[in-house]
């Protein structure tokens, strides 16, 4: 029971990072300026790397499928990523705001797992700590700078925030029966708690950036992803990601 | 990644420049002595206008080749098979952007701003390595590019890294170091297909057949038709002749292709045991010039994508511009 | 249709459109100094274009430390670097008799050996 719950949690985390990493990697070579192109690509690689590490823990510690097969050869409804990560990149405003909200969420999640009773997760959290520190430093700097850089830029950031906030709240979709098991076993503190910590983290940055956080009571978080219900954007991306691998999954690539 | 071996020469510009060399004979003699002694030229040094012009052109084209070179392989970023290949490919394409960054900086030390270079790329005034005007149709193309185009680039870049201009040499030193990772991961992915299933081998052979011509074009036209480049050799701007570099590449890599039981689409390709030189069919130099002048399968898309990136990144750059600040070029 | 699915999602513009980048749009130049390990000097490794020092540092981290071992970075605006003209190289030439500044200018062992060989030196030892 506990192992199933841990697998469920880690699959959600891994799928989020795999898809978000993919979306961010699409910017490689197309960014607004070379220096940022390089930085953003590194962070995309980090995310895909984290997802790989999570899938490997599922494989090695929890009796799951081989990491590549599990990551690239599942039917769409078995993916548990949130809707936020599925959306195409749109402009750099959308991508940066998503990066800010998503990476702050990642940071609070992994931090909460520094004390996890599940040893492999605890170790991984220690390993990714430095990377996430850079990701949030980078995200905070961009959000603050662009929000203070004239009207057009400010409007773009505020619009992006308005568009994304409900999607971002969907990261913390309640985990049903499994979640209580995980909280009781001290694997992690649960989605509600992480959601509050996340708000505590993003709020001061948004204030400094003079951005208005939309009233949270008025938004409907984009739930469903954790149960395998996805936006129309996911299926084509999965097909793309597995295109070569699925030519022959038994072959070495 | 890719110092296209061939520096594109604008026609009709040569005669005038040649004369300028003789403007200041004493300084020129000291400059040439310094190069002959194996010393490097640094940004603040006196240098002939022609040396500066040729170097800007060389380094700028090299830089453009890096950021355009990111596109054919970028084609497969979202589709690379499995974690290891995906991460390696993203890292490699990222390195190419990083190399572009280093090279634009090196060129800027000579007085041309990054913005001016980007504008010349977008307008078609400035060229990049021809090889990137060809499409990467299958995953196997990525392995051919990663192995053979990178290998060719290394031959060129190792030669250039012994050139006379300090900032370019320093950039190349770092670039060559990273290229060794590119070549290794490319070779590994190439071998994986070559030693894989019949379908994988077929895919690889097909890619090899399609890329062979652009690879033969990579180092530029044969020496006998190439423009006079003695001065550039003396100034250590151009470090080896097109044919010598091509020969070195064939020497090092054709055996590595043949040992895997793969073939190359040129029945005349062989090493002449007496001369030590490789012999090959004429690789259609008309096509080479056609593609340079915009007639390749991907010229239009490559520039369109760069234009998209510049246009859509503009608001980000403009938002953080500081118009009152004094702008400077890199120090070294 | 591009072969690149990423490109197909971009909605490319007119291929003949004139796109120009304004001077200064790639911001200013910052020199980057890289410290490989604690206790080592920060060494110049190149530069980044950035709108301000904070972003310069953020950019430098990935462009100059994503592979190479690194514990710290400095950035400084290129404009703030003061250097000698390259023509002043002759100023650094140490071809005059200035051995009094070098360790090699002092022949300590010679004096000791000479002393040991003299009668005074040998009788005093033991």
Report pLDDT digits (tens) over B289-313: 999 999 999 999 999 999 999 999 9
Q: In angstroms, rounded to a whole number, what is the distance separating the alpha carbons of residues C49 and A33?
A: 9
Chain C residue with CA closest to B96: the answer is C63
List, for residues B13-31, the tens digit of each pLDDT value.
434 444 455 668 999 999 9
Is the ipTM of this structure higher than 0.95?
yes
List, for residues B218-266, the tens digit of each pLDDT value.
999 999 887 667 889 999 999 999 999 999 999 999 999 999 999 999 9
Set of chain A residues whose Cβ sits within 8 Å of the Cβ of C5: 240
Q: What is the pLDDT, as a whole number, of residue C78?
A: 94
Is C1 domain-assigned? no
DSSP assignment string, chain A = -HHHHHHHHHHHHHHHHHHHHHHHHTTTTTSSSHHHHHHHHHHHHHHHHHHHHHHHHHHHHH----HHHHHHSS-GGG----GGGGS---SHHHHHHHHHHHHHHHHHHHHHGGG-SSHHHHHHHHHHHHHHHHHHHHHHHHHHHHHTS-HHHHHHHHHHHHHHHHHHHGGG---HHHHHHHHHTTS---HHHHHHHHHHHHHHHHHHTTPPPPPGGG------GGGT---TTHHHHHHHHTTTGGG-TTS--
Is C19 domain-assigned? no
Q: What share of residues in chain C are helix, strand, coil (percent, to 5)? A: 40, 20, 45
Set of chain B residues whose Cβ sits within 8 Å of the Cβ of A42: 94
Q: What is the pLDDT, as a whole number, of residue A235?
A: 98
Q: In angstroms, rounded to a whole number, what is the distance separating the alpha carbons of residues B212 and B283?
A: 9
Chains in contact with B via at least 3 Cβ–Cβ pairs below 8 Å: A, C
Q: Do strands C72-77 and C28-35 pair parallel, antiparallel, or not at all (unpaired)?
A: antiparallel
Q: What is the pLDDT, as a whole number, of residue B1?
A: 43
CATH number of domain containing B267: 1.20.1260.10
Q: Count how many domains chain B has.
A: 1
Is C5 domain-assigned? no
Range of the domain at B154: 14-319
CATH number of domain containing C101: 3.10.20.520
List, for residues B181-223, the tens digit of each pLDDT value.
999 999 999 999 999 999 999 999 999 999 999 999 999 999 9
Set of chain A residues whose Cβ sits within 8 Å of the Cβ of B196: 251-253
Is B21 domain-assigned? yes
Q: Please say whether the dihedral angle defined by the alpha carbons of residues A223, A224, A227 and A231, taken in this order, is positive or negative.
A: negative
The answer, yes or no, to whether residue A251 has pLDDT greater than 60, is yes
Q: What is the pLDDT, as a whole number, of residue B139?
A: 98
Neighbours of B15 (CB within 10 A): 7
Can you read off the two tokens belonging to residue A236? 């084509």
Nearest to B175 by CA among B69, B66, B279: B66
Residue C6 C-alpha, separation from nearest chain A C-alpha, in angstroms? 6
Q: What is the pLDDT, as a whole number, of residue C35?
A: 98
Chain C residue with CA closest to B181: the answer is C67
The phi and psi torsions of B278 (rounded to 5 degrees) equal -85, 145
Cβ-count burial B204-217 (b if 16+ within 10 Å, e if not): bbebbebbbbbbbb
Q: In angstroms, rounded to a whole number, what is the distance separating the alpha carbons of residues A180 and A186?
A: 10
Nearest to C27 by CA among A128, A200, B108: B108
Contact B70, A29 (CB under 8 A): yes
Q: In angstroms, rounded to a whole number, what is the distance separating the alpha carbons of residues B106 and A62?
A: 51
Chain B residue with CA closest to A19: the answer is B78
Q: How far does Cα B159 stand from its chain's mean position?
A: 12
Q: In angstroms, rounded to a whole number, what is the distance separating the alpha carbons of residues B101 and C105?
A: 47
List, for residues C50-90, the tens digit of each pLDDT value.
999 999 999 999 999 999 899 999 999 999 999 988 778 88
H or E element that contains C111? helix C108-117
Between chains, do A34 and C9 touch, taking CB under 8 Å as contact?
no
Chain B residue with CA closest to C44: the answer is B332
Residue B220 Ramachandran class (φ > 0 left, ψ -120 to 50 alpha, else beta) = left
Neighbours of A247 (CB within 10 A): 16
Residue C97 C-alpha, separation from nearest chain B C-alpha, in angstroms? 26
Between chains, do A26 and C9 touch, taking CB under 8 Å as contact?
yes
Task: Give the residue, B12 or B262, on which the prediction is more confident.
Answer: B262
- What percentage of chain C reaches a pLDDT higher than 70? 93
List, for residues B260-283, the tens digit of each pLDDT value.
999 999 999 999 999 999 999 999
Is C98 domain-assigned? yes
List, for residues A107-129, the tens digit of each pLDDT value.
999 999 999 999 999 999 999 99
Q: Look at residue C23 and give its three-state secondary structure.
A: coil
Q: What is the pLDDT, as a whole number, of residue B251?
A: 97
Q: What is the pLDDT, as a whole number, of residue B24?
A: 86
Q: What is the pLDDT, as a whole number, of residue B14?
A: 38
DSSP bridge pairs for C34: C43, C73
How does the average pLDDT of chain A come out, rounded? 97
List, for residues B33-80, the tens digit of each pLDDT value.
999 999 999 998 999 999 999 999 999 999 999 999 999 999 999 999
The answer, yes or no, to whether residue C104 has pLDDT greater than 90, is no
Beta-carbon contacts of B75 under 8 Å, excluding residues fewer than 6 positions away, are B135, B136, B142, C2, C3, C4, C6, C7
Q: In angstroms, rounded to a whole number, what is the distance separating the alpha carbons of residues A180 and A189?
A: 9
Half-sphere exposure of A232 (CA within 13 A, CB side): 0
Q: What are the structural domains of chain A?
A: 2-247 (1.20.1260.10)
Q: Is B328 on the interface with C (CB under 8 A)?
A: yes
C42, C45, C51, C56: CA torsion to nearest 10: -50
Is C3 domain-assigned? no
The answer, yes or no, to whether residue A191 has pLDDT greater than 80, is yes
Set of chain B residues whose Cβ sits within 8 Å of the Cβ of C5: 78-79
Is B7 domain-assigned? no
H or E element that contains C64? helix C53-65
Residues from C contacting B (CB-CB < 8 Å) are: 2-7, 10, 12-13, 15, 17-29, 31, 44, 46-49, 51-52, 55, 63, 67, 77-79, 81, 83, 85-87
Set of chain C residues whose Cβ sits within 8 Å of the Cβ of A39: 58-59, 61-63
Q: If pLDDT is split at 50, 70 and 90, which confidence band does A228 have? A: very high
Q: In angstroms, rounded to a whole number, what is the distance separating the alpha carbons of residues B134 and A43?
A: 29
Q: Is A67 on the interface with B (CB under 8 A)?
A: yes
Q: What is the pLDDT, as a whole number, of residue B51?
A: 95
Which ranges in chain B belong to alpha helices (H)? Answer: 14-20, 25-36, 49-74, 82-108, 114-123, 139-144, 150-160, 166-194, 198-217, 230-234, 242-258, 285-290, 299-319
Nearest to A8 by CA among A198, A184, A167, A187: A187
Set of chain C residues whose Cβ sits within 8 Å of the Cβ of B67: none
The answer, yes or no, to whether residue A241 has pLDDT greater than 80, is yes
Q: If pLDDT is split at 50, 70 and 90, which confidence band does B323 have? A: confident
Q: In angstroms, rounded to a whole number, what is the distance separating the alpha carbons of residues A116 and A97?
A: 29
Chains in contact with C via at least 3 Cβ–Cβ pairs below 8 Å: A, B
Range of the domain at C82: 27-124
B181, B183, B186, B191: CA torsion to nearest 10: -110
Can you read off the two tokens belonging to residue A106? 């990642």
Contact A143, A211 (CB under 8 A): yes
- What percentage of chain B reaches a pLDDT higher than 70? 92
Q: Count how many domains chain C has.
A: 1
Can you read off the two tokens belonging to residue C31? 């020199």
List, for residues B108-129, the tens digit of each pLDDT value.
999 999 999 999 999 999 999 9
State the average pLDDT over residues A51-75.
97
Q: In angstroms, rounded to a whole number, what is the distance separating the alpha carbons of residues C27 and B255?
A: 48
Is C53 domain-assigned? yes
Question: Which residue in B78, B304, B318 is closest to C25 by CB distance?
Answer: B318
Q: What is the pLDDT, as a whole number, of residue B227?
A: 66
Can you read off the two tokens belonging to residue B156? 């060129």
Q: Look at residue B175 and give its three-state secondary structure.
A: helix
Strand ranges across the sheet with C42-50: C42-50, C28-35, C72-77
Is B332 domain-assigned? no
Cβ-count burial C52-85 (b if 16+ within 10 Å, e if not): beebbbbbbbbbbbbeeebeebbbbbbbeeeeee
Q: What is the pLDDT, as a whole number, of residue B9?
A: 53
List, for residues B128-141, the tens digit of each pLDDT value.
999 999 999 999 99
Can you read off the two tokens belonging to residue B168? 């370019």
Nearest to C48 by CA among C57, C37, C36, C38: C57
Between chains, do C47 and B314 touch, taking CB under 8 Å as contact?
no
Q: In angstroms, rounded to a whole number, what is the distance separating the alpha carbons of residues B160 and B153?
A: 10
């Amino acid at each position: 029971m506990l192992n199933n719950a841990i697998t469920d949690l880690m699959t959600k985390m891994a799928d989020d990072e795999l898809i978000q990493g993919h979306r961010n990697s699409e910017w490689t070579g197309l960014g607004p300026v070379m220096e940022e192109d390089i930085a953003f690509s590194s962070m995309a690689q980090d995310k895909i790397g984290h997802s790989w590490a999570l899938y490997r823990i599922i494989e090695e510690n929890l009796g799951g499928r081989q990491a590549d097969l599990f990551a690239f050869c599942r039917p769409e409804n078995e993916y548990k990523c949130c809707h936020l990560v599925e959306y195409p990149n749109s402009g750099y405003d959308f991508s940066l705001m998503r990066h800010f909200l998503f990476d702050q969420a990642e940071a609070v999640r992994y931090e909460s797992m520094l004390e996890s009773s599940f040893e492999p997760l605890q170790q991984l959290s220690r390993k990714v700590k430095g990377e996430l520190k850079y990701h949030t430093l980078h995200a905070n700097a961009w959000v603050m700078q662009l929000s203070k850089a004239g009207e057009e830029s400010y409007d773009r950031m505020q619009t992006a925030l308005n568009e994304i906030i409900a999607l971002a709240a969907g990261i913390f979709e309640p985990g049903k029966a499994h979640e209580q098991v995980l909280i009781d076993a001290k694997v992690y503190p649960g989605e509600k708690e992480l959601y509050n910590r996340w708000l505590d983290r993003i709020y001061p940055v948004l204030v400094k950036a003079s951005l208005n956080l939309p009233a949270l009571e008025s938004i409907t978080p984009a739930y469903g992803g954790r149960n395998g219900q996805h936006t129309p954007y996911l299926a084509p991306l999965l097909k793309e990601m597995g295109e070569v691998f699925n030519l022959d999954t038994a072959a070495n690539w | 990644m890719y110092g296209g071996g061939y520096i594109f020469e604008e026609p009709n510009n040569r005669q005038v420049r040649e004369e300028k060399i003789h403007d200041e004979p004493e300084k020129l003699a000291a400059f040439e002595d310094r190069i002959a002694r194996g010393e490097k030229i640094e940004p603040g040094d006196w240098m002939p206008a022609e040396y500066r012009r040729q170097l800007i052109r060389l380094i700028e084209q090299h830089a453009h080749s890096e950021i355009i070179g990111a596109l054919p392989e970028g084609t497969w970023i979202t589709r690379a098979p499995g974690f290891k290949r995906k991460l390696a490919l993203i890292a490699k394409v990222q390195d190419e952007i990083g190399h572009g960054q280093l090279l634009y900086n090196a060129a800027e030390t000579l007085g041309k701003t990054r913005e001016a270079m980007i504008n010349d790329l977008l307008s078609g005034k400035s060229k990049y390595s021809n090889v990137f005007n060809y499409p990467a149709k299958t995953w196997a193309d990525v392995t051919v590019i990663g192995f053979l185009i990178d290998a060719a680039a290394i031959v060129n870049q190792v030669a250039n890294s012994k050139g006379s201009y300090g900032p370019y040499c320093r950039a190349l030193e770092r670039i060559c170091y990273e290229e060794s990772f590119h070549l290794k991961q490319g070779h590994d992915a190439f071998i994986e297909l070559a030693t894989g299933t019949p379908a994988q081998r077929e895919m690889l052979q097909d890619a090899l057949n399609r890329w062979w011509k652009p690879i033969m074009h990579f180092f530029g036209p044969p020496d006998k038709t190439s423009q006079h480049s003695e001065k550039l050799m003396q100034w250590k701007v151009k470090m080896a002749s097109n044919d010598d570099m091509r020969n070195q590449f064939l020497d090092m890599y054709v055996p590595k292709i043949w040992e895997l039981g793969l073939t190359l689409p040129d029945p005349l390709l062989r090493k002449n045991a007496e001369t030590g030189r490789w012999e090959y069919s004429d690789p259609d130099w008309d096509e080479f010039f056609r593609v340079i002048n915009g007639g390749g399968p991907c010229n239009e898309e490559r520039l369109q994508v760069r234009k998209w990136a510049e246009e859509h990144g503009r608001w980000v750059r403009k938002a953080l511009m500081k118009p009152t600040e004094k702008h400077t070029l890199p120090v070294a | 249709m591009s072969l690149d699915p990423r490109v197909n999602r971009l909605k490319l513009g007119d291929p003949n459109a004139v796109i120009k980048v304004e001077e200064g749009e790639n911001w200013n130049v910052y020199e980057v100094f890289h410290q490989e390990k604690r206790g080592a000097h920060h060494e110049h490794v190149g530069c980044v274009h950035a709108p301000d020092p904070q972003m310069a540092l953020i950019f430098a981290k990935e462009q100059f430390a994503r592979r190479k071992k690194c514990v710290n970075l400095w950035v400084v605006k290129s404009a703030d670097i003061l250097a000698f003209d390259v023509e002043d190289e002759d100023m650094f030439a140490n071809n005059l008799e200035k051995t009094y500044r070098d360790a090699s200018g002092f022949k300590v062992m010679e004096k000791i050996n000479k002393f040991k060989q003299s009668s005074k030196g040998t009788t005093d030892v033991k």
